[in-house]
Structure 1
Amino acid sequence: EAAKTIQRTSFSTLVNESNDFACVVTDAAGHSLVQNTESIPSFNACLPVTVQHFLAVIGPENMNPGDVYICNDPWVATGHLNDVTVAKPIFRDGRLAAFAASTAHAPDIGGKVRSVVAKELFEEGFQIPAMKLLDRGEADATLIRLFRAQVRTPDQTEGDLWAQVTGLNLIEARVTELMDEYGLADLTAFGEDIQGRSERAMRAAMAAVPDGRYEAAFDTDGFEGRPLHYQCAVTVTGDRVRVDFTGTSAQIPRAINCTMTYTFAMVSYALKCALLPDVPNNDGIFRCMEVFAPEGTIVNPTRPVSVGGRMATGHYLPTLIFQALAPVLPEKVMAACGSPLWSIIQTGVDKRGRTYANTLFFNGGMGALPSKPGESCYSWPSNISNVPVELVERNTPLFVHRKALRQGSGGAGVHPGGEGQEVVFESESDTPIGVIFMAERLTHPAAGLEGGGPGALGEVLVDDVPADVRADHMLTRGQTITVRTPGGGGYGGGA
């Protein structure tokens, strides 16, 4: 209900169409109890970290009814500045009982625009440390004015922020009703029961995996002809698992570095998908998991390196985990997907003379499963939706000439990989449009499993000429962009 409220009151298609947001309920200590379904699944592991950060920085003794806290620090939130997290304490009889929290991808966060060429966090936009957005119900007008002054889309960005707060208010009302109905002083005992059930189920699933050390490694597109290397060891001991990323590439001065909060979230999501997909998501799931990544690597970078495109690293991690577990759990993992998620970010001046920023997402094919072919144009592991053509043409100076499946782009196999998509845009703008691509698998395809073939490589063309996706571009009237997303890997010996 809160998620639908956020979607229906938000201003940007990032939230109301693409579902790039999430909301959770935590107990008074910041441990998650429940998350909405139509959202980014990895945020279930990120949001509790941010709530616990609010507790540490602001302090429970300084929290009051009507407060709302805000933060977008990539190292304690969801990994990049564009995701703005807000949380509201819920009180009962004057005592802190729970939190409602939400994160959403802002239409714009200022700075250079989210681009893989950024070298430092300072280029990437407005940084908001943990602070109060509302104090006892009163908004910090200075913070709002400052926020609006930093971004290209002040009305959309502020509108989405208040949509999140509206969702938190609804959660507060419903949780209060729940506590009233069952006579609960807080959600601690209730939460311990829910989390305990999930923890026991996850430990049982983990204990069913043979003890051992399972390894995987692969390279990805990287930069300037130099691939990035990913390596992990998954060690199962009884009902516990440790994932170690030693050997993974060092952090680089490009915005694909993935902070540890997002790294843990991607690992925990992959393990849950493989071992316990049908049990509710909450903090209990994570208690048998340990993730280690050497400091200074692309999966645990140090400040102030850029992180705006952290999904270009984070979205590879579930595939890495699956490849490590494939020899021992071949029936529970799938081939590589045509991910990470692709996007085109456009900036410019509209017909009314106002600056704008817009993000369009594109999905590749899903990897094939042991039991069936991969889905086409499927967002995994991000759960992001594409914006309908009609809204693209209404909200941007782009005309869509074509949007179709890339026939034959899925990898061969007993079960073929899912197909990518082809989308062709043309600029109808009288002023130049700044265009930034985020695209992967242009040189390293999505691998198959158990003898399945790789998916087709992705392609990005400007006026039918291959484009450098690691550079910024300017698009003028009549120029076209062609996007061909990668296919997913196949499963089984049809390669």
Structure 2
Amino acid sequence: MSALEQIQRQIQWNRLIAVVEEQAQVMIRTAFSTTVREAGDLSAGVFDLQGRMLAQAVTGTPGHVNSMAESVGHFLAKFPAASMKPGDHYITNDPWLGTGHLHDLTVVTPAFHDGRIVGLFANTAHIIDIGGLGMGPDGRSVFEEGLYIPIVKCFDQGKPNETFFDFLRAGSRTPVELEGDVYSLCACNDAGAKRLAEMLAEYRLDGLDDLAAYIFEASITATRAAINALPHGTYKAEIHSDGYEAPVALHAALNVRTDEIVVDFNGTSGLSSRGINVPPAYCRAYSCFGIKCVVAPEIPNNWASLLPFRMEIPEGCILNAPRPYPVSVRHIVGQLLPDLMMGCLAQAVPDRVNAEGSSCLWNPPLRGGSQVSGQNAEVEDFEVISFNSGGTGARPTKDGMDGIAFPSGVRTMPVEATENVAPVIFWRKELRPDSAGPGRTRGGFGQIMEIGTKGEAEFAVNAIFDRVANAPKGRFGGGEGAGGRVLLDDANGTQLRSKGFQVVPKGRHLVLHLPGGGGMGDPKERDVALVKADVEDGLISAQAAKALYGV
């Protein structure tokens, strides 16, 4: 390929990124659920006719993007590309064919140019309610967790499948939001298909095949080179989750070879009877992400750049849940995987990893009204979830970030947005002092949140929290971050369970202490001025500064 042709391909690649980013932004601007429009819990991408992901939007989460990268092939197995027509849209929330639980809807749409199908657009979004028990860990099978949608056509040549939408509305506590989100997902794929057709016409391209070949070849070559530059060998690590019935141990042996990385999860805990199990695609998604953050962070994420990372996930372990095991809150365990991968890679490239962080999102699903209080309800029925995060782990040369979602990347939702759609009040939302793990670079701070309802009515929380009994660990001499806590605001600070459906009594508030990130390096080596600044800001107490940092 000539230098001019390479420049042209690079321009076309940049244009393709703009197309998929516009696809994602259309979803954000038209979504009904606050999880999408406020938190950005979504993914968007363009695929070739073999179901291989060419490009993804910058906006989105690794769990969605990398799982969705596998899901388009399942759509094509049921609805071959040759059978698709303009205006068709296909949908599923099958955890084993989509992105891991029923609360994620995945939509695939064909893109046409000059009357010929040239590619596919896909997206995923987390919706508020899909019926069943609601988002929580208490289900004992996926059938209890909500409405299960196989791969079906939701729009046929632009016309809605009314039977599908009848079932959809009838199966949810929030039918308006759910139906609106499906229309939003289809609209954003349509926007992507329109922009792609304009791009192909502008560059006088018949399709995506030549551009896809260029993208894939460049991506896999660069990824293999990055892998080969690592010290070859096998590196082992483990990490622990609070679990549900019992603690969960995740074990990994990461083998760096010449042109691939193979991760063996042998030794990991077995399946749970509750909804913390992880479908294998979700395990691969977050494991690949954790590795890429260290090994190849600048290489675009697509089918080819993911190909050199292989996962060996034993049957019967919690990271390889078969149908119909419950998987509603698979993120509780799955979002620990990047920390586990960094635990392995810390032995090979210690200057490129973070300490452990809060990792698992602290998203309190809240419910109230007659569903909780029956005839004594004092507020209207509501179902809402708010996305929040603890602190991230310390970095080699920088402190961890406060209240930031890593690895999911979703945004913290403004409390006003949640209060606007449900009768809840956030009485406190502030950084949690002394929660950051000490170190030469310290961890990020967690948060303290206090939540009640209007009129102080009783309500319920479907707790889906972790890092309570197993605080984020530091690296290379750094200290642990503070573990999380789930409390009532009564005089005794009554502790609630970190998982499961629980009622907050009338007149009481839910209080959440989100975990802080682990530190990195000897705390005594920390710049004294930085310690003093944290003390002056009220983030570290004078006692902690003296005990941990000697200041």
Give the TM-score normalised by the residue count of structure 1.
Answer: 0.97
Question: Aligned residue for 1:445?
Answer: 471
Identify the range of structure 1 (54-63 vs 15-24) with the bigger mean alpha-carbon deviation.
54-63
Contact 1:32–1:44 (CA under 8 A) maintained in structure 2: no
Give the SS at the match of 1:88: strand
Q: Does 1:369 align with 2:395?
A: yes
1:293-332 to 2 correspondence within 5 Å? 293-332=313-352
SS of equivalent to 1:404: strand
Is the CA contact (8 Å cut-off) linking 1:364 and 1:376 kept in structure 2? Answer: yes
Q: Is 1:276 matched with 2:296?
A: yes
CA distance in 2, matches of 1:128, 1:398: 31
Deviates more, 1:182-191 or 1:144-153: 182-191
**Corresponding residue number in structure 2 for 1:218:** 239
After TM superposition, the structure 1 stretch with the greater mean CA deviation from structure 2, 425-434 or 410-419, is 425-434
Contact 1:339 1:486 survives alignment (8 Å): no
Question: Counterpart in 2 of 1:134?
Answer: 155
Matched, 1:9 2:30: yes
Shift in Å, 1:219: 2.2
Give me the whole-angstrom Cα distance separating, in 2, the residues matched to 1:239 and 1:456: 39
- Structure 2 counterpart of 1:493: 522
Quote the Cα distance in structure 2 between the aligned partners of 1:138 and 1:51. Answer: 22
Residue 336 of structure 1, aligned match among 353, 356, 363: 356
The aligned counterpart of 1:409 is 435
1:400 aligns with 2:426: yes
DSSP-derived class of the 1:47 partner: helix
Bigger share in helix: 2
Counterpart among 235, 238, 246 of residue 266 in structure 2:
246
CA contact (8 A) 2:90 2:109 kept: yes
Contact 1:428 1:478 in 2 (8 A): no
Alpha-carbon offset, residue 447 of structure 1: 0.5
Per the TM alignment, residue 223 of structure 1 is displaced from its structure 2 partner at its CA by 2.6
Alpha-carbon RMSD: 1.6
Deviation at residue 387 of structure 1 after TM alignment: 1.6
Partner of 1:32: 53
Shift in alpha-carbon separation, 1:412–1:293, aligned structure 2, 3 A:
same
Aligned residue among 196, 199, 204 for 1:183: 204
**Residue type of the partner of 2:420?**
R
Ranges in structure 1 where 5+ consecutive residues have no aligned partner = none
Question: SS of the residue aligned with 1:297?
Answer: coil
CA distance in structure 2 between the partners assigned to 1:41 and 1:218 by the alignment: 20
- Aligned-pair distance for 1:91? 2.2
Residue 292 of structure 2 aligns to a residue in which SS? helix
**Following superposition of structure 1 onto structure 2, how do residues 68-467 of structure 1 map, counting pairs within 5 Å?**
68-224=89-245, 226-349=246-369, 355-428=381-454, 432-463=458-489, 464-467=493-496
Asked if the contact 1:367/1:488 (under 8 Å) is kept, the reply is yes
The answer to whether the 8 Å contact 1:427/1:476 transfers is no
Question: Which whole-Å CA distance do the structure 2 matches of 1:20 and 1:106 have between them?
Answer: 9
41-50 or 455-464, which deviates more: 41-50
Cα distance in structure 2, aligned partners of 1:147 and 1:245: 37
* SS across alignment from 1:234: strand
* Cα deviation digits, residues 1-58 of structure 1 (max 9, x gap): 2222111111121011011111111111111111111211332221122211110012
Within 1, Cα distance between the matches of 2:400 and 2:444? 4
SS in 2 for 1:55: helix
Structure 1 residues 354 and 96: alpha-carbon distance in aligned structure 2, compared to 1, 3 A threshold: farther
Q: 3-state DSSP class of the match of 1:34?
A: strand
Instruction: Provide the rounded CA distance (Å) in 2 between the counterparts of 1:470 and 1:14.
Output: 21
Q: Distance in 2 between matches of 1:352 and 1:443?
A: 35
Conserved 8 A contact 2:378-2:457: no
2:529 is matched with none
CA displacement at 1:427 relative to structure 2: 2.1
Residue 407 of structure 1, CA deviation: 1.5
CA contact (8 A) 1:90 1:96 kept: yes
Matched residue SS, 1:223: coil
Distance 2:458 2:481 in 1: 35
What SS does the aligned partner of 1:361 have? coil
Q: CA deviation at 1:435?
A: 1.6
In the alignment, the residues of structure 2 paired with residue 222 and residue 165 of structure 1 have an alpha-carbon distance, to the nearest angstrom, of 36
TM-superposed CA distance for 1:429, in Å, is 5.0
Q: Distance in 2 between matches of 1:429 and 1:64?
A: 53
CA distance in 1 between counterparts of 2:299 and 2:37 reads 27
Letter in 2 for 1:370: P
Q: Which amino acid aligns with 1:244?
A: D
Could you give the per-residue CA deviations for residues 179-225 of structure 1, whole angstroms, max 9, x where no partner exists? 1112222212211211221211111110011110110113221234x
* SS of corresponding position for 1:42: helix
One-letter code aligned to 1:427:
T
Q: Distance in 2 between matches of 1:394 and 1:204?
A: 50
Take 1:153 and 1:109, find their aligned partners in 2: how far apart are those partners?
A: 8
Quick check: 1:428–1:477 contact (8 Å CA) kept in 2? no
Maintained 8 Å contact 2:382/2:422: no
**SS of equivalent to 2:243:** strand
The answer to whether the 8 A contact 2:49-2:81 is kept is no
Q: CA deviation at 1:450?
A: 0.8
Q: Distance in 2 between matches of 1:177 and 1:349?
A: 49
For residues 342-390 of structure 1, what are the alpha-carbon distances to aligned partners after superposition, in whole Å with 9 as ceiling and x for unaligned?
A: 1111123399986431111220100001111101111000012222122
- How many residue pairs align between the two structures? 494
**Letter matched to residue 478 of structure 1:** G
Deviations along 1:262-313, whole A, 9 cap, x unmatched? 1111011111110121222211211211111012211011111100000011
Amino acid at match of 1:214: Y
| Residues 408-465 of structure 1: per-residue CA shift (max 9 Å, x gap) | 2111110000000001112225764232111101111101011111100101102331
- 1:229-257 deviations in whole A, cap 9, x for unaligned? 11001001102110110110111111111
Alpha-carbon distance change, 297 to 222 in structure 1, aligned in 2, over 3 angstroms: same
Alpha-carbon distance in structure 2 between the residues aligned to 1:421 and 1:319: 20
1:28 and 1:353 map into 2 onto residues whose CA distance is 50
Percent identical among aligned pairs is: 36
